[in-house]
Amino acid sequence: MELIYLENNDYDTWNNFVEASPQATIYGKTWYLEALGVPFKLLTVQENGKILAGSVLAKNPIKMYSNPLLCKYLGVYYNNFTGGAYKIETKRKNALKALLPELTKFHSYSYAFHPTFKNYLPFYWNNFSSKVFYSYWIPLKDRSIEAIQKEMYGKLRSEIKFALKSEYEIVYDIDFETFYTVGEKTFIRQGGKSPFSRTFLKKYTTDLSHKNAFKSLAVKDKEGRTMAIAGLIYDRHATSLVINGFDFEIMQRGANELLIFECIKFAMTQSDFFDFEGSMLEPIDSFYRKFGGEHQTYYKIYKHNVLNFAIEKGIKWYKMLKYGK
């Protein structure tokens, strides 16, 4: 085995590797990372020219090796090894063992891994730490919308039914200014501002739309006013709810519930799963849970050092001052 950093002309090889990986996700594709405009490197373990495992080493807005905004899962990707469970896990362990000496060099290493990455032990043995996070996924493959609705919380189904009777309008591919403005109002109401600049979000949505990987939706009232917006990224594996914003001044009963229900219906035409992308905040977790998804756990794996400790405490302190939570 040998460690190899890929060059730009290897991007197609990397993207094909990610697509075939059990950890396959849009977030690991080079064109998605380029849409984010973040610096990144691609580290691989190879044997006889075949990628056995690899990791995206992307930087976040403060130039640390961590998940950038709108990039939920990164971490390590494995080749789609075959054989029995013991044989597959041994191949993964050996490939990761080859990666780890390089990963230990990055003092700011801190990434959220894909939910299908299950074995944290090799990182633990190399003095990494982990935290567990949660999301809700709705399985979509070979299912009807009626079957999915049946698993939703009864009161949520009532809200959607009320919204349908209220003649709200669902609109696809809304204009960017409306999308940005309504999304921004959510953060303003919370006492802050949008984490996305208008320029960044315009490039991001445009680039991904050209790749047929982004969809914007909105729900409007009878007067044609936009009450809520949603932004989805998608591939054949999963559709993820990356942005959901509201105009609280005109928001009406059941509007956002109807909008997310429409997002799920769209996802059924594209993907195997719908990913709410989760939240550790109790009210948001409770709201997502009403849609009947399955709990998915995923690791955040990080170097347990003074730098990461200071960064984490600084972020918590900042949020406490700015948002009171």
Model pLDDT for residues 136-162, shown as the tens digit of each residue: 999 999 999 999 999 999 999 999 999
Per-residue confidence (pLDDT) for residue 305, from 0 to 100: 60
> Residue 44: exposed, middle, or buried by beta-carbon count in 10 A (0-12, 13-18, 19+)?
buried
Per-residue confidence (pLDDT) for residue 130, from 0 to 100: 94
CB atoms within 10 A of CB 248: 12
Q: Which of the residue ranges 18-22, 97-101, 188-192 would you say has the lowest mean pLDDT? A: 188-192
- Determine if the pTM surpasses 0.85: yes
Per-residue confidence (pLDDT) for residue 322, from 0 to 100: 45
Sorted by where each begins, the domain ranges of the chain are: 2-127+304-323, 137-295
Per-residue confidence (pLDDT) for residue 245, from 0 to 100: 93
**Quick one: what percent of the chain has pLDDT higher than 70?**
92
Q: With bands split at pLDDT 50, 70 and 90, how would you rate the model's confidence at 214?
A: very high
Q: What are 66-80's pLDDT values in tens digits?
A: 999 999 999 999 999
Average pLDDT over residues 155-181: 96
Q: What are 283-296's pLDDT values in tens digits?
A: 788 889 999 999 89
Q: What is the CATH number of domain 2-127+304-323?
A: 3.40.630
Per-residue confidence (pLDDT) for residue 321, from 0 to 100: 47
Q: Are 136 and 296 in contact (CB under 8 A)?
A: yes
pLDDT of residue 16 exceeding 80, the answer is yes
Q: Are 237 and 272 in contact (CB under 8 A)?
A: yes
Q: Are 215 and 266 in contact (CB under 8 A)?
A: yes
Phi, psi of 245, rounded to the nearest 5 degrees: -135, 160
Angle value at C-alpha 256, between 254 and 259, nearest 5 degrees:
110
Q: Which of the residue ranges 49-58, 125-134, 181-190 would you say has the lowest mean pLDDT? A: 181-190
Per-residue confidence (pLDDT) for residue 306, from 0 to 100: 57
* Element holding 186 (H helix, E strand): helix 176-189
Please give the mean pLDDT across all residues of the chain: 91
Q: Which of the residue ranges 91-95, 126-130, 278-282 would you say has the lowest mean pLDDT? A: 278-282
Per-residue confidence (pLDDT) for residue 324, from 0 to 100: 42
Q: With bands split at pLDDT 50, 70 and 90, how would you rate the model's confidence at 112?
A: very high
Beta-strand ranges (E) seen in 96-254 are 110-112, 128-139, 169-172, 214-220, 226-234, 238-246
Average pLDDT over residues 9-14: 97
Q: With bands split at pLDDT 50, 70 and 90, how would you rate the model's confidence at 308?
A: low
Q: 3-state DSSP call for residue 171?
A: strand
* Residue 14 to residue 40: CA distance in whole angstroms: 13
**Same fold? 2-127+304-323, 137-295:** yes
What's the CATH number of domain 137-295, 3.40.630.30, 3.40.50.150, 3.40.710.10, 3.40.50.11030? 3.40.630.30
Per-residue confidence (pLDDT) for residue 318, from 0 to 100: 46
Average pLDDT over residues 48-57: 96
Rg (CA), the chain: 21
Structure tokens, 96:
């990761």
pLDDT of residue 323 exceeding 50, the answer is no
Per-residue confidence (pLDDT) for residue 307, from 0 to 100: 61
pLDDT of residue 195 exceeding 70, the answer is yes
Average pLDDT over residues 259-287: 90
Our CA dihedral for 262, 233, 204, 11, rounded to 10 degrees, sits at: -160
Per-residue confidence (pLDDT) for residue 314, from 0 to 100: 58
* Residue 199 to residue 177: CA distance in whole angstroms: 11
Per-residue confidence (pLDDT) for residue 309, from 0 to 100: 58
Average pLDDT over residues 250-267: 97
